Structure 1
């Protein structure tokens, strides 16, 4: 597995830390992902989760119950392990192991497929996640971090 990719994913987590986050920010973040998905004619499920609540949830036409489960499992992975679901999957692949097959992982509750990214507040840590499901994991991940970066620019 490519250590450059792992380092890049960790660098994204260091880079993308917000100054503040609230319900309005969650709405802006989720809406930005919806617009980005529409621009590429993609159908995705979007969730913004913070402060132990789902603050934004939108399932575009063409999504289904499976997307809901993917979103939940990706979010659970980030909240438990503290890294993006994409990083978690790539890290485990670099160790030649299947994340979901490990004895301490319940595959009904967790998955290590890209698309969920931690929402961090500078000097405070993780307060939630933004999750996208419906496209290949790299694209789900890019939609999430693209919208977070846009939000970060607007906060500075």
Structure 2
């Protein structure tokens, strides 16, 4: 996508997930609804859009899944679809 630079964009999604402990799409929706995170739009280390998803194990953020290259809500949906498939196959509990 124009203006989106691979690893840098993924790093920004990861930092957003790490800061808030939610998916970056959740943060985007919260911002759209009530403007809670508008200040972070000025922070160039974060990005308020979909495509970052936390991996929370036993209540602790242990990592994240990151997707970039589609429209941001589609990036998020790719992650959701993959996790749902893993869960349905019984490989992710």
Per the normalisation by structure 1, the TM-score is 0.51
Q: Does 1:135 align with 2:70?
A: yes
CA offset at residue 106 of structure 1?
5.0
Q: Which digits, 9 at most, give the CA deviation of each residue in 1:74-106, with x for residues without a partner?
A: 1100011011000001101101x383x51x665
Q: 2:6 aligns with which of 42, 67, 89?
A: 67
Structure 2 unaligned spans of 5+: none
Query: How many residues are aligned here?
Result: 91
**Match 1:146 to one of 81, 85, 91:** 81
Map of 2:48 onto structure 1: 112
Aligned partner of residue 154 in structure 1, secondary structure? coil
- Higher-Rg structure is 1
- When the two chains are superposed, the root-mean-square deviation of aligned CA atoms in Å is 2.5
Matches within 5 A, 1:75-94: 75-94=14-33
The 3 A distance-change label for structure 1 pair 150 and 71 is same
User: Post-superposition shift, 1:124?
Assistant: 3.1
The unaligned stretches of length 5 or more in structure 1 are 1-61
- Deviations 1:59-87, CA, capped at 9 Å, x for gaps: xxx9x971222111011000110110000
TM-score by length of 2: 0.80
How far the C-alpha of 1:150 sits from its partner, in A, is 2.4
Secondary structure in 2 aligned to 1:108?
A: coil
Q: 1:79 to 1:93 in 2, by over 3 A?
A: same
